[in-house]
Structure 1
Amino acid sequence: MQTSQQSTKERILSAAEVLFARHGFDGASLRQLTAAAGVNLAAVNYHFGSKDRLVEEVFRRRLDELNSRRLKALARIAGHPETTLEDVLAAFIKPALELSHDGSGTLFMRVLARAFAEHDDTLRRFLSENYGHVMRQFTAEFARLLPHLSKEELYWRIDLVTGALTHAMSGFGMIQRKSDVTETMHREQTAAHLIRFSAAGLSHP
């Protein structure tokens, strides 16, 4: 019974991810969702209770693991005298790129991009309340390594780095993987370019 329930829940989440990426949060209807997932409305209500809660669970499914990886990577280097700006950026960027190239990860990145583009205050509050502590820990380490920057200037630069990462993760960019380049090689190239670019922008006088 538990396996069946889990399967139904995952099916709803996967269908929701596709529809949110394609139509946005307001544009994707529950009728479309139930048809795509092969369930009835009662199943959606049973597992999630409301559309807002469903949206939140779509994010939790991906972001809990992503930010756990990020924080573990950061914990290994935070506060050490030999830690470089590139080390911290790698802890922030590489787990995200691994997610974006993992099966439906690219699809989720488009959902994440929509969250920023659609200015949904409820969703933004959810993301801030549940994952804001991750960004605060990274910001503290960036601040330690970049003492010449004011708090406001640092926030501006981190926001731009995050935007560049979201763009790279979504697959919307001009640089597409060549046929003779593996997914792993392409991800490593993307990480190297993005870390180098971000380090230059963050450390600029």
Structure 2
Amino acid sequence: MKEQAKPKDALTRILDSAETLFAKQGYNGTSTRQIAAMAGISIQTLHYHCGSKSELYNHILERSIMPVTAMINRHIQKMLKLDLGDEATLNQSINELIDELFETLHQNPNFPLLFFRQWLEQDLALRRVEWEQLAPRLRQWVMQVEAIVDQDRRQGIDLPLTFVSLSMLYWGLFTNQQFISALLNMDGESQGYMERLKSHAKELTSRCLRRGTELGVVEDRRQGPKAKPRPKGKAG
């Protein structure tokens, strides 16, 4: 088989093909021969550029997560500079992040699919790749969110699990687009559908962050009004 493409062009085709197939079929359901065939190259060329299948998969995960990571980091750095003790400012910042996150996921649909399929795989090697690629970023984001959200608001919230739960919710809205759009009787590619998803995500996120404040208010009510200090005076 005569290949006319330059090495860079061949590598790009390999990565694009691998990302598409891994997202659609999962790691175990995709062979390197399928990837090579889709990329229009020989299996030898694929191994020359990308090494083993697991090395290629690792590269794909890193490439797919980069735009999402860059976007979230940019918003978090912006939020760290704001006074988010103000409810309106906090909500606006969260809404802006969700708006761009959903647009990023819409433009990179393979990203949530890759990680959801990976979580369904039972291969221990894939679990290691998941930990190396995603978990450190999640830990970093959680620590940054803890610095952003004030202590009173965090009361009663398991922030790491809340962060993971919301992330899986956001990604799930994209990986289940066909089912959700049918349920809502909406065109999954329409702007109206996208705006409805964003509105839903914003409301749930706001409720999660409000929960800490509400729990604090409930606890104060349970304790009852604080006793007022007795005025000092002469003993009767």
Same-fold call, TM cutoff 0.5: yes
After superposition, what is the alpha-carbon deviation per residue over 1:122-150, rounded to whole angstroms, capped at 9, x for unaligned?
A: 33433433443432333124334233036
Question: Unaligned stretches of 5+ in structure 1?
Answer: none
| Percent pairwise identity | 21
**Distance between the aligned counterparts of 1:44 and 1:166, measured in 2?**
30
> RMSD of the alignment, in Å?
2.7
For the residue of structure 2 that corresponds to 1:27, the secondary structure is coil
Question: Unaligned stretches of 5+ in structure 2?
Answer: 216-236
Equivalent of 1:113, from 112, 116, 121?
Answer: 116
Contact (CA 8 Å) 1:77, 1:87: kept in 2 or not? yes
Q: How does 1:172-187 map to 2 (within 5 A)?
A: 172-175=178-181, 178-179=186-187, 183-187=190-194
State the structure with more CA Rg.
2
After superposition, what is the alpha-carbon deviation per residue over 1:90-109, rounded to whole angstroms, capped at 9, x for unaligned?
A: 43x4444223322xx22343
Equivalent of 1:163, from 158, 165, 168?
Answer: 168
Does the C-alpha gap of structure 1 residues 182 and 113 become closer, same or farther in structure 2, counting only changes over 3 Å?
A: closer
Contact (CA 8 Å) 1:167, 1:173: kept in 2 or not? no
How many aligned residue pairs are there? 197
After superposition, what is the alpha-carbon deviation per residue over 1:71-126, rounded to whole angstroms, capped at 9, x for unaligned?
A: 011101125323516624643x4444223322xx2234322210122244433433
Does the C-alpha gap of structure 1 residues 143 and 106 become closer, same or farther in structure 2, counting only changes over 3 Å?
A: same
Amino acid at match of 1:157: T
**Distance between the aligned counterparts of 2:103 and 2:6, measured in 1?**
29
Equivalent of 1:99, from 91, 96, 104?
Answer: 104
The aligned counterpart of 2:21 is: 19
Matched, 1:126 2:129: yes
Higher RCO, Cα 8 Å, sep 6+ = 1
Amino acid at match of 2:166: V
Task: Give 1:37 deviation, angstroms.
Answer: 1.5
The aligned counterpart of 2:202 is: 195
Contact (CA 8 Å) 2:14, 2:35: kept in 1 or not? yes
Does the C-alpha gap of structure 1 residues 134 and 87 become closer, same or farther in structure 2, counting only changes over 3 Å?
A: farther
Q: TM-score, normalising length from structure 2? A: 0.71
Higher mean C-alpha displacement, 117-126 vs 65-74 = 117-126
The aligned counterpart of 1:137 is: 140
Higher mean C-alpha displacement, 135-144 vs 29-38 = 135-144
After superposition, what is the alpha-carbon deviation per residue over 1:28-52, rounded to whole angstroms, capped at 9, x for unaligned?
A: 1112222222111111111111101
Task: Give 1:185 deviation, angstroms.
Answer: 4.5
Does the C-alpha gap of structure 1 residues 108 and 143 become closer, same or farther in structure 2, counting only changes over 3 Å?
A: closer
For the residue of structure 2 that corresponds to 1:26, the secondary structure is coil
Task: Give 1:194 deviation, angstroms.
Answer: 0.6
Contact (CA 8 Å) 1:89, 1:199: kept in 2 or not? no
For the residue of structure 2 that corresponds to 1:200, the secondary structure is helix
The aligned counterpart of 1:6 is: 8
Equivalent of 2:36, from 24, 27, 34?
Answer: 34
**Distance between the aligned counterparts of 2:141 and 2:99, measured in 1?**
14
